[in-house]
Every structure is written in structure tokens, then in C-alpha cells.
Amino acid sequence: MILLVGLGNPGEKYARQRHNIGFMAVDEIIRRHNFSPERKRFQGLVCEGTLDGEKALILKPQTYMNESGRAVGEAMRFYKLAPSDVVVMHDELDLPAAKVRIKTGGGAAGNNGIKSITSHIGPEFRRLRIGIGHPGDRARVSGHVLGDFAKADKAWLEPLLDAIAEAAPLLAEGKDSSFANRVHLILNPSQSKKPKPENQAGQPKQKDTPDGV
């Protein structure tokens, strides 16, 4: 079983903020993969479903970002999961918009939601970092993170959320690198079929072999 956690703040006031991109990502997974309706549980909203035949639980903590670990810890203990079964999706200021990175463990990098989860279950959970870009000025960081996505962001935001949802079954299989590659190729289809390099005669370049072979 996999526990997919989207980070954000509850309520319509926060729904379109960049800080809520974790909520947006799991909402698209719920929609695309026909998860159950949301219900209140574990201090959050929970949906159940399957990803490539694997049971999956999606959790959106309703404790506000800074206390996200309370909900995650409660759900993890109930299902007797290991930290490696938990994937947390959250905004990443230090990644360009529309870029994703996934890793296991590490620090919180200033994200209070990640800090809270670490305090409840330790650091060895999986993190899907979703780039929202940096405003370029430290004085503008708070307003950027807590600001709504602009209309122009729709051009990259919707395809990114679609790609994350399409590739989500790879997370359930534990294939994190394959997931990241799949998202990249969905967003950059022209790179999925690169022609083989040719030599001067126009033939595919042959692999070098030792003399006499």
C-alpha cells in the first residue's frame, strides 16, 4: 500500500495559492484514477483507490501546512506503513516552474509542512518536489509562495498536473526514477524518440569495438 500525501492549506481562500500545489496534484490523481469520494479521517480528507493494481490512500491534511505531520503520522501508524511507503507532494521554491524532482530523505529546506512530517515520522519518506519558481528577490518569497497562480501559469500548470497523475502508478510500484522520467517525457514528447546519431555517410553510428572483435 502507498500513502500519497498532498500538502496545502484547507479552505477556498488558499485553494489557488502556489503553496497548495500538493493538494492540486493529488486532486488530479483522484480524478484521473477514479478514487473514492473524500471523507474526513486522520485529521484530513482521505480517498481510497488503486494505482496499477496497488492499493493507494490519498491524504490531504486539514491541520494547515505547519501541522501536516499530525495527519500523516496518524494514517501511517493506523496502516502500519513504513516511511518508504509515504510520498509527500509539495511546492518547491528552488525548482523552476513545471519541473519535478523526487527523492527520499533530506532536510526540510524551509518547508514547514515537511518539517512537521519529519518530526512525526522521521526524514526517510519520499518527497515529490514540484517547482513553482523563485521570484528572484528574497523579500518577495512569502508573497510568491502564498500568492495565487497567475492566469499565464495555466499553460504549464495543467499539463504538469496531468503528467503527474498519468505517471502516478509508477510511484505505487516504487519506481521513482521511472516516474520522474515519465513526467519529463509526457511534457516533452519530442524528446521521447530521438534519432540515432549518424556518421558522415548517413548511416547510424556504430558502437566502437576493440580491434579484432
Per-residue pLDDT of the chain (213 residues; tens, 9 = 90+): 999 999 999 999 999 999 999 999 999 999 999 999 999 999 999 999 999 899 999 999 999 999 999 999 999 999 999 999 999 999 999 999 999 999 999 988 888 999 999 999 999 999 999 999 999 888 999 999 999 999 999 999 999 999 999 999 999 999 999 999 999 999 998 876 655 565 555 555 555 444 443
> What b-and-e string marks burial along 148-168, b requiring 16 or more CB atoms within 10 Å of the CB?
ebeeebeebbeebbbbbbbbb
Look at residue 191 in the predicted model and tell me its pLDDT: 75
Task: Specify the pTM.
Answer: 0.87
Rg for the chain (alpha carbons), in Å? Answer: 20
Q: How far is CA 13 from CA 72, 83, 197, in A?
A: 23, 31, 52
Query: Bridge-partner residues for 6, per DSSP?
Result: 89
- CATH class of the domain whose range is 2-191: alpha beta
The residues pairing with 44 across neighbouring beta strands, listed in sequence order, are 41, 61
| Residue whose entry in the numeric block shows the C-alpha cell 503520522 | 73
Cβ contact 167:32 at 8 Å: no
Residue 25 amino acid letter: A
Spatial separation of the C-alpha atoms in residues 207 and 36, rounded to whole Å:
51
> Which residues are the active-site residues?
19
CB neighbours of residue 27 within 10 Å: 21
Q: What is the pLDDT of residue 213?
A: 39
What is the per-residue pLDDT for 212? 43
User: Is 141 exposed, middle or buried, given 0-12, 13-18 or 19+ CB atoms closer than 10 A?
Assistant: middle
